[in-house]
Structure 1
Amino acid sequence: MEEDRTIVIEGGASRYALKPARINREDILFCVDVDAESTAEMKTTGTNGRPLIRLECVKQAIILFIYNKLAINPDHRFAFATLSKSAAWLKKDFTSNAESAVAALRGLSATKSSGRADLTLLFRVAAQEAKNSRAQNRILRVILIYCRSSVRPTHEWPISQKLFTLDVMYLHDKPSPDNCPQDVYDSLVDAVEHVSEYEGYIFESGQGVVRSVFKPMSILLSHPQQRCAQDDLDFPKSLAKKVPLDEAASAEDRHNGNNIQTISQ
């Protein structure tokens, strides 16, 4: 995007500066996978002494996201959909009212296994909502939380239509002969690249720990119009960069799991 940059000369040295640009308010559509795999237990215990399930952890992370996003700009708005065989509205009207958004979110519940996941309707709805958002000088983003380890999502969507930005958080089981999380992840990467207007992010975790949900959700607070490419993300910092050189090699060996190109083993 060289056209968005200018070169400023100061004392013989040059530096890049971004040209002033309007950053639009966001309409954010959360689409949460409610397949039976969303009830898989995590390694963290809830207040009732029982392990949290993925869906409850996701709800908590989204609630925190909503309050933090509204603290950044109270004019951002939220709506909610679910994904089983296809997408369906949970709360269609976008709202900046946190209590209303949270109330809708708490109505989420899991269903039985649906066997397939078609994203076509989700993309169709998002494209229409994106046009409505643009008419109000806003942009639309879809955040998909996907929980299936052996069902690759499909879609039929023309690559020429990039009207919104897609982010994905993928929670899955460990690879095994009975599932194919790497193939599922690759399909999700393809979907992000296929439909996203701005830089879309995708995160995955098969660790089953709460921080693997909350940490990516905090990164997704970033506005699509202000993002760097995901390959250029430089946080969290590797421990190897914070220890003496003679300890760097062993620290690097211990620091794994941040490479989004490979499913967690």
Structure 2
Amino acid sequence: MRKRTAMETDPLEKHHQKTNNEVSEDDSESAEVKLHTDNLNVPRSNMDVSRSSSTSSLASSSQNDELVKNGNCPEETVSNDSEVMSGEIQKIPNRNLPAVNVPEKIILCIDLSEDPNYTPFKLGDGTKYAPLYMIKRVAEIFINSKNIINKSHEFALVVLQSDTVAWLRDFTNDPCDIISVLEDMSETQQGDTFDLSALFDVISDHVSLPQVSEPNATPPPFVVRVVLLYSRSHCVPKFVHGQESFSLLLSSDYFTVDILYIHEDPSEANKCEEIFSVLDDLDDRGFSYVLDVPRNTTKLHDNMAKLLGHPLQRPVQKVAYYKLELQEIR
């Protein structure tokens, strides 16, 4: 199964900050780009893919494991980075669908499980917050931003508890409806396992996917997207009862799974790298965005902002580039 090309570009501008102090001590750089649009396509002639490097230790580790497995040396690959990326361009999947900002039915899947002895998120003024508080915060920003982009977008809410999944709120285009439910959520203990089968069974029971007679020419009435915020550092997710529901959903061009993995710093005492590898392998088509972030406030906001792009309009993750550059007009 293919491994996703790591993509951690320059930090984006923090999106809709509520306070001027909401900057982590690790990141004091000024932001360069805001994601205020669903259309993130960049003309390929303006894109220097060789600069698409990663600061994600999990993504880098996952890539290196794959390179070693294939008989390549990570150090040699770094020295030939431009050649590797040039080869990756040839592997870019192509979704031959109209790039139209049709309404999205977005299913926010929030993990309520709390890591034992978790490391809190720390703001620039020294204030510390629990991971779930920050997850709810960026989810709220995401919902409000998508609603500004297109009032027809709808949101549903699913929660991942210790070892169960619950559909809390059905689709609505009223952000306040979802946010009010978000505010009432609280942490649960972390279980030994998490069943991905249960998650996608619940989703399959609550969604219907559009059917289009001429998919290459006619936009669908809507698309369905799962945005999974997984936050366990010790519990590796797996399909306990099969992948039938997941495979059925993923067989549709109008269904996408995006993942933001929020975790502790990787160590021998946790399973962060193994968890990331499982999440990264969920969509072998290459259209999902799979991002990860440790306890870093700035990067948490940046990565959540990267999920604002519409799945029919954004580039695939391996060539997504978020820095604006001035060019001369001839």
Normalised-by-shorter TM-score class: 0.7 to 0.9
Q: Which residue matches 2:288?
A: 200
Correspondence list, 1:1-265, <5 A: 22-37=100-115, 40-45=118-123, 50-84=127-161, 85-91=163-169, 93-131=170-208, 137-155=221-239, 156-158=242-244, 160-161=247-248, 162=250, 163=252, 164-193=255-284, 199-206=287-294, 208-236=295-323
What amino acid is aligned across from residue 235 of structure 1 in structure 2?
Y
- 8 Å Cα contact 1:41-1:51 kept in structure 2: no
What amino acid is aligned across from residue 37 of structure 1 in structure 2?
D
Distance in 1 (CA, whole Å) between partners of 2:160 and 2:317 is: 25
- 8 Å Cα contact 1:27-1:77 kept in structure 2: yes
Q: Which residue matches 1:8?
A: none
Distance in 2 (CA, whole Å) between partners of 1:175 and 1:41 is: 12
What amino acid is aligned across from residue 264 of structure 2 in structure 1?
D
What amino acid is aligned across from residue 173 of structure 1 in structure 2?
E
- 8 Å Cα contact 1:31-1:81 kept in structure 2: yes
Distance in 1 (CA, whole Å) between partners of 2:149 and 2:211 is: 21
**Identity of aligned pairs, percent?**
28
What amino acid is aligned across from residue 157 of structure 1 in structure 2?
Q
TM-score (norm 2): 0.59
Distance in 2 (CA, whole Å) between partners of 1:59 and 1:160 is: 29
Paired residue total: 216
Distance in 2 (CA, whole Å) between partners of 1:171 and 1:60 is: 13
1:134 CA drift (Å): 6.1
- 8 Å Cα contact 1:172-1:205 kept in structure 2: yes
The CA RMSD over aligned residues, in Å, is 2.9
SS at match of 1:179: coil
Distance in 2 (CA, whole Å) between partners of 1:160 and 1:133 is: 16
SS at match of 2:312: helix
Q: Which residue matches 2:57?
A: none
- 8 Å Cα contact 1:119-1:154 kept in structure 2: yes
CA offset digits 1:76-97 (Å, max 9, x no partner): 0111111121321222x11111
1:20 CA drift (Å): 5.4
Q: Which has the higher contact order (CA 8 A, sep 6+)?
A: 2
Distance in 2 (CA, whole Å) between partners of 1:192 and 1:106 is: 31
Q: Which residue matches 1:11?
A: none
Distance in 1 (CA, whole Å) between partners of 2:114 and 2:168 is: 17
1:126 CA drift (Å): 2.2
In the TM superposition, structure 1's runs of 4+ consecutive aligned residues that sit over 4 Å from their partners are 18-22, 132-136
TM-score (norm 1): 0.73
Bigger CA drift: 125-134 or 223-232?
125-134
CA offset digits 1:27-74 (Å, max 9, x no partner): 111111111229834342499x74111111111111111111011100
- 8 Å Cα contact 1:129-1:140 kept in structure 2: no
What amino acid is aligned across from residue 222 of structure 2 in structure 1?
R
What amino acid is aligned across from residue 110 of structure 1 in structure 2?
E
1:189 CA drift (Å): 0.8
Relative distance call for 1:108 and 1:46 in structure 2 (3 A) is farther
- Unpaired segments ≥5 residues, structure 1: 1-17, 243-265
- 8 Å Cα contact 1:25-1:137 kept in structure 2: yes
- Unpaired segments ≥5 residues, structure 2: 1-95, 213-219
Relative distance call for 1:173 and 1:142 in structure 2 (3 A) is same
SS at match of 2:283: helix
- 8 Å Cα contact 1:170-1:205 kept in structure 2: yes
